Amino acid sequence: MTVPDEILDVVRPARRITVLTGAGMSAESGIPTFRDAQTGLWTKVAPEDLATPQAWHRDPARVWAWYAWRTLAAGRCLPHAGHRALAQWALRDGIEMSVVTQNVDNLHERAGSLHVTHLHGSLFAHKCDTCGVAFDGELILPPEQVAELPPPPCRHCFGGRIRPDIVWFGEALDMDVFDSAVEAVRTAELLLVVGTSGIVYPAAGLPSMATQLGIPVVEINPHGSDLSDELDHAWEVTAAVGLPALLDAL
């Protein structure tokens, strides 16, 4: 795979690099997208009915069971060559790399990336739905899909239940987390956008911010995106193919 010269010309001099990743980054590892995750017990359920505060308060055992299944499915997937390429790139002398991801899996971390900001939370992080304290105990998850699974009680408050530390529909992003993402973009010399559709805000606004600051924006996406007006260059290639090729070319 040959990297376009115009992309190499932009990427090669960059030392402070921020990478924004979306669902396309994880697809080649076999991670189901949010809507693709409607399988088995959940085929007749709208995702929005399982990913809102209202759904949680209405039937926490059902929501917890769905997220338990998603967590198991994600945990069985492995980082691909693109995840590993980013981690290896970050280890090169003089390189400072931050990964800002919209994904809720931990594939970047398992590949070795050290500086990862999860805009929408993580399947592998949990907190109390009442006091907000992070859960640091061991979760016991069923080995297969179940219809209901009571969430663990909080050990720090009375009546609290442990929920996924995910940003649900109707919930705002953690502003400290988003501020970290903004800072990573603001201080970058290059924004590399990988596998994101560019339609989910506020993450989709980060490339525009980079453009306004004069920071080059390069996209890797086999299907393109809604970010065409914000890009300096776009390469229609998958993450698992394009990122290793880019690293080799550098």
User: What is the H or E stretch that residue 128 is in?
Assistant: strand 121-128
- CA 53 to chain centroid, in Å, comes to 21
Q: How many residues does the chain have?
A: 250
**Whole-number Å distance between alpha carbons of 202 and 167:** 12
Is 120 annotated in the active site?
Answer: yes
Q: Which of these, 130, 138, 124, lies nearest to 68 by C-alpha position?
A: 124
User: Out of 118, 120, 156, 223, which one is annotated catalytic?
Assistant: 120
| Residue 100 DSSP label | E
Q: Which two tokens stand for residue 36?
A: 């693709």
Strand 217-220 with 96-101, pairing: unpaired
Q: Which of these, 103, 94, 41, lies nearest to 239 by C-alpha position?
A: 103
| Residue 161 DSSP label | B
Amino acid present at 250: L
Q: Which two tokens stand for residue 195?
A: 């596998």
* Extended beta strands in 1-87, E state: 16-21
Q: Any long-range contacts for 47-51 (C-beta under 8 Å, 24+ apart)?
A: 48/169, 51/166, 51/168, 51/169
Q: What is the set of active-site residues?
A: 120
